[in-house]
Structure 1
């Protein structure tokens, strides 16, 4: 029989401590939250990017058409959500690395920095688009902008729906930053 020294027992006790279990749990939560954010931001980009509606006018040769790229704000929204989705896919590698090695700290700090930058980009795109969606639904009588959602119902439903996924992504990024900060604080 092999004798186990007190030093080896101490090392094994440290590696299976409750703290490492909590860190591994936080790492798994980080990975799952990133998957949720990918679904929300990618669905938002696809929903907005494929939105258009055509209405006939008096003749069949004259038509009114509404597309997402008619407004630069919606184009920015699609690009911002696509960039954030791409970042989230790439960050899954580091997130999985944290599940395997829950003591890694430098890569967690790097993820917090990039998560904060992506949170800012996503918030900017979603907030600007939310303002335009509000105008599309309600108009503005002071500037003589009429509400186009009375005519373009399908268009407005899709652009409103795409905002939901983006704001879910914003909420998930807030949680990701909190989870990563909590994992860093548990040395």
Structure 2
């Protein structure tokens, strides 16, 4: 061997290929995490909307009160939500649902920060199902009373009072509609949580 010659060693490019694959896997994981983060952000926005709907339902029903302008010394015609236990249950249930939604916001934020975490999603899925059940029962019970208030029931001598108490019926009807808006939002929240857990 002459002193001017240089020896070259061919190194296989397997390490370079392996190094090239690692960033591809990392990019794939980042894309998957980005999709889950997007779902978590949408979940957070939906929860804010559900809070508004539930609070609107509770406050509207809680402030429904109307007194007819004609009354005598002994009789005064008044309609209020606390005259009916069903409406009282509605106000309490929607207040509980609103409080739960506020308390669930930190867990939704955790899902945004850590999109691959399953425990917060599973907890929200279970609690959302319980809140959906309470919300649906309150809304359905109030809807039955609102229907009777609008149409009455001659078989049970239940008179339609909405012709006299128009403002009262308008408020309780709006409260029922707002409660069912939150029911629909809860259904989307449960579907999102189930989808995120299934794709984990």
**What TM-score results when the alignment is normalised by the length of structure 1?**
0.92
CA shift at 1:59, angstroms? 2.5
Taking structure 1 as reference, are residues 37 and 58 closer, same or farther at Cα in structure 2, changes over 3 Å only? Answer: closer
Q: Does the alignment pair 1:9 with 2:23?
A: yes
User: Distance in 2 between the 1:44 and 1:58 partners?
Assistant: 30
Is 1:41–1:165's contact at 8 Å kept on the other side of the alignment?
yes
Aligned residues between the structures? 183
State how 1:1-187 maps to structure 2 within 5 Å. 6=19, 9=23, 12-16=26-30, 18-59=31-72, 62-187=75-200
CA shift at 1:177, angstroms? 0.3
Unpaired runs of at least 5, structure 2: 1-17
Is 1:19–1:186's contact at 8 Å kept on the other side of the alignment?
no
Is 1:27–1:99's contact at 8 Å kept on the other side of the alignment?
yes
What SS does structure 2 have at the residue aligned with 1:53? strand
Flag the structure with larger Rg.
2
Unpaired runs of at least 5, structure 1: none
User: Distance in 2 between the 1:31 and 1:147 partners?
Assistant: 41
User: Distance in 1 between the 2:24 and 2:70 partners?
Assistant: 80
CA shift at 1:111, angstroms? 0.6
With CA pairs under 8 Å and 6+ residues apart, which has the higher RCO, 1 or 2? Answer: 1
User: Distance in 1 between the 2:199 and 2:71 partners?
Assistant: 68
User: Distance in 2 between the 1:76 and 1:92 partners?
Assistant: 25
Q: Which runs of 4+ in 1 moved over 2 A?
A: 5-15, 56-62
Give the root-mean-square deviation of aligned CA atoms.
Answer: 1.8
**What TM-score results when the alignment is normalised by the length of structure 2?**
0.86
CA shift at 1:106, angstroms? 1.2
